[in-house]
Amino acid sequence: MSTSPVMQYKVGLHNVGSYQVSGKPYVEGGINAGTATSVSFPFVTNWVVVKNNSTTELKVGFSANGIAGSNYMTVTSGSVLGPLELKVTELHLEGSTAVDVLAGLTFIGTRNIDNSANSPSSPYVNWSGSSGVG
């Protein structure tokens, strides 16, 4: 009889099947990100698209620290960013008063992002905004 522990497979960040299927659609339009704002997804994303419908540039990052510092992407007026294949639970936006966000969601709960190494005060958040991680 084997004494090894039984492997239990479950949905999570490293579960390939969760990313091989089509994403559950998520759309949020007309977001006013004139001042820093965030979009929180109900599940971990598989991919994300951001459209800037304004005449001003838009900062897109993965944390408040990212857009406050230098760890963000810039989306010019009338441009689209993506699709980006990313495992995120939220986006942080600043600069545009007319933003649309489209995402494909997995069925992985947001609590499955255990980022305690990067964000020890709150482990179930996106990325901290530290170097190289918006």
The overall average pLDDT reported for the chain is 82
Q: Which residue has the higher pLDDT, 123 or 85?
A: 85
DSSP at 20: H
Q: Is residue 109 helix, strand or coil?
A: strand
Q: Find tokens 């089509």 and name the residue.
A: 22
Question: Is the link from the previous residue into 83 a cis peptide, with omega within 30 of 0?
Answer: yes
User: At CB < 8 A and 24+ separation, what contacts does 72-75 make?
Assistant: 72/134, 73/134, 75/50, 75/51
Domain spans of the chain, in order of start: 23-112
User: Does residue 56 register a pLDDT over 50?
Assistant: yes
pLDDT at 23: 82
Q: Per residue in 7-44, pLDDT tens?
A: 666 676 666 667 677 789 999 999 999 999 999 999 98
Distance CA(22)–CA(46), nearest Å, equals: 9
Question: Residue 19 in contact with residue 118, Cβ under 8 Å?
Answer: no
pLDDT at 93: 97
The model's pTM: 0.79
User: Does residue 81 register a pLDDT over 50?
Assistant: yes
Amino acid identity of residue 100, one-letter, is: D
Q: What is the CATH number of domain 23-112?
A: 2.60.120.770
